[in-house]
Chains A and B, each alone.
Chain A
Amino acid sequence: MRARQDRGIRPTRLAPLAIAVALVGLVAVVSVSMLLGAANLGWTRVAQEVWAQLTGGRSPLSATEAAIVWDVRLPRIVLAGLVGAALAMAGAAFQGVFRNPLADPFLLGAAAGAGMAATIVVVAAPQVTGWVIGPLPLAAFAGAIGGVGLTWLLGRSAGGGTAVLLLAGVAVASFLTAIQTFVQQLNTDTIKQVYSWMLGGLNTTGWREILVTVPYIALAGVVLCLCGRLLDVLAVGDDEAASLGVRPGRVRVVVLLAASLATAAAVSVSGLIGFVGIVVPHVVRLLAGASYRVVIPLSLAGGAVFLIVADHIARTAFAPAELPIGVITAFTGAPFFLLVLRMNRQEVR
């Protein structure tokens, strides 16, 4: 026993092995998803095309086929990865701030705000074209930020604190959803379009959505990863956190702001994709430990992998028809989650 002590203690940190596994996983799912798309180009030919692009050689694909690979398939994969990363790390952050394992990225009115704004845009301006980025994602982004902002203001005016903030989130969400329902009922002809957006999906029009969302998600990712240790401190409660020299209120503002920004960016391009923000952080916790110093970055990577896989299944399982991605995330994620829970229970007992 003494010999073991001499090797020193090991705090939970992002181990090189974990980073390597995450990177290999990410590269693997991106590669597989690139090679095996919905359009049957033949995976060897796609591989040759990628090789040709990297080395400057000759590609076996026609110009149209090459465009499918680079301007349809790849941006969609990248977008799936970005949205998955954003939702998973935001979910982990919300769970840390609220010290509640059931907190999800849509908790503070982001979903309801985005839904309401998207509905209004679909109804009021269905045919706007020629914008760099469509009015629907813009409105969804603004709606999500607006929803969270409203929750924040309401929570503060009612005295602040996490419980009050949660209640304010519920009230704001109900209110905004009521407006959305009302607008929808007046305009039943567009209900299908709204509904399909709400189910979530990653239909891209190339690289534009990515360029628009990347800055927000990257910024949020950096902030949240830096705040991992402070989220661990919050976990011991406000009085104790303060006794450790940390200002809990300030940490909460910064983390919620970053997480909401990531959520809004994701919602704006993908609609509402549930499940990722709750399940991915929990799987990470069960596999790699509860310290937010590893939960946040690994959720980011895990969310990207998970959503790339889910989206790949969504568009290839019944090609050319596409399944709503929310169905896939729940369908594949739930059994996996249960499996990890079971494995972990046996380990603990």
Chain B
Amino acid sequence: MTALSLHDVSARYGSRVVASGVDVDLPAGSWLAIIGPNGAGKSSLLKAILGAVEHDGEILLDERPASALSARARARAIAYAPQNPQLPDRLTVTDYVLLGRTPHLAPLARERRADLAVVEQSLHRLDLTGLAGRALHTLSGGERQRAVLARVLAQQAGLLLLDEPTTGLDIGHAQALLELVDRLRAEDGATVVSTLHDLTLSAQYADRVLLLHGGEVVGYGTPEEVLTRETVARHYAAEVEILKTDNGNLVVTPTRAPRG
């Protein structure tokens, strides 16, 4: 089943088009990484799928037009973690994760026992149970990212939109977070669309990559197909080597011509 289809989608702010000509069909349980140099339109495309930025073209969720869904129904289908999530200082981790249940509740209703069970499970899966009662402002950077992911998880949406989920994390925490997303994808069958700066991480976690440059799609396919030395040189103006490790992982590493 196709979880997300974009047919000739462009994202725009008013009349200013920031990404265009996107054609993508994602089977359920796949991971698409949107890559591209700064200002390529990655986040805007993500927000267009979310419905927060205007778009032209057709967006299908589970083969139905997204525009036909109400705001709450759409929120039950799509969960979103922004690049710089705002975590209200003194709110507890539990209260924050509970916000993920919002689309499942009538506007003025209280959460039910089942909602609390989902929250508890989300906390448990992200190893946050011990921090459940802590205020958000007392968490470390990695713990905060996990709290955001727990909130996304509590939303129980089939499609996860993650905007630069590893921002501000060191290499270990970044890896742990992406492993976690990958596990959730495998266990829940969730579809992931993420923007990522790091090309190596994109290549190792996503099964498809979409390369944007100046708002245009300049590459789409498996990491091996898209991430070549020539492509990276052309669109990032960067000198890189593409290596393959013994266990088949792609590594994109910058190189420097010998001096002298």
Contacts and interface: CB of A to CB of B under 8 A. Distances in A.
Interface in A301-329: none
B99 A232 contact: yes
Contact of A12 (B50, B92, B116, B120): B92
Contact of A236 (B85, B105, B129): B85
Interface residues of B, number: 48
Contact of B82 (A5, A226, A230, A239): A239
A240 to B, nearest CB: 6
A9 B75 contact: no
A242 B103 CA distance: 10
A245 interface: yes
A289 B103 contact: no
27 contacts: A1-B130, A9-B120, A9-B123, A10-B94, A10-B132, A11-B111, A11-B116, A11-B119, A229-B108, A230-B108, A233-B102, A236-B86, A237-B85, A239-B80, A240-B85, A242-B50, A243-B75, A243-B80, A244-B100, A244-B103, A245-B102, A245-B103, A289-B91, A290-B88, A290-B90, A291-B92, A291-B95
Contact of A8 (B95, B111, B116): B116
A289 B102 contact: no
Interface of A: 1, 5, 8-12, 226-227, 229-230, 232-233, 235-237, 239-240, 242-247, 285, 289-291, 348
B120 A10 contact: no
A285 B90 CA distance: 8
B102 A244 contact: yes
A9 B50 contact: no
A278 B132 CA distance: 29
Nearest to A12: B95
Contacts of B89: 290
Contacts of B90: 285, 289-290
A247 B138 CA distance: 29
A244 B129 CA distance: 23
Q: Main SS of the interface on chain A?
A: loop
Interface string B49-82: 0111000000000000000001111111011101
Given A12-B95, A242-B71, A236 B52 contact: no
Given A9-B119, A235-B86, A290-B88, A242 B94 contact: no
A245 to B, nearest CB: 3
Given A10-B133, A289-B90, A245 B95 contact: no
A348 B71 contact: no
Contacts of A11: 92, 94-95, 98, 111, 116, 119
A142 B116 CA distance: 45
B150 to A, nearest CB: 11
Given A290-B90, A291-B95, A240 B75 contact: no
Contacts of B86: 235-237, 240
Given A9-B123, A290-B135, A236 B116 contact: no
B91 A232 contact: yes
Q: For B74, B88, B155, which residue has the most chain A Cβ atoms within 10 angstroms?
A: B88
Contacts of A289: 90-92, 95
Q: For B51, B70, B71, B73, which residue has the most chain A Cβ atoms within 10 angstroms?
A: B71
A226 B116 CA distance: 19
Contact of A348 (B74, B116, B119, B138): B138
Given A240-B82, A244-B100, A245-B73, 5 more contacts: A235-B86, A240-B80, A243-B80, A245-B76, A290-B90
Contacts of A245: 70-76, 102-103
A12 B132 CA distance: 11
B234 interface: no
Interface in B199-251: none
Listed from nearest, the 7 A-B pairs whose CB atoms lie closest are A245-B75, A290-B90, A245-B72, A245-B103, A243-B80, A235-B88, A244-B102
B124 interface: yes
Nearest to A5: B129
Contacts of B50: 239, 242-243
Given A5-B129, A10-B94, A243-B52, A236 B88 contact: yes
Q: For A240, A245, A290, which residue has the most chain B Cβ atoms within 10 angstroms?
A: A245
Contacts of A5: 124, 129
Contacts of A246: 71, 102, 107
Interface string B138-173: 100000000000000001000000000000000000
Interface string B35-61: 000000000000100111000000000
Given A243-B52, A244-B102, A348-B138, A9 B116 contact: yes
Interface string B14-51: 00000000000000000000000000000000010011
Interface string B99-123: 1101101011011000010011001
Contacts of A240: 80, 82, 85-86
A289 B116 CA distance: 19
B107 to A, nearest CB: 7
Q: For A11, A227, A232, A243, which residue has the most chain B Cβ atoms within 10 angstroms?
A: A243
A1 B127 CA distance: 12
Q: For A5, A11, A240, A291, which residue has the most chain B Cβ atoms within 10 angstroms?
A: A11
A349 to B, nearest CB: 10
B87 interface: yes
A316 to B, nearest CB: 36
B99 A244 contact: yes
B87 to A, nearest CB: 7
Nearest to B103: A245
A146 B186 CA distance: 57
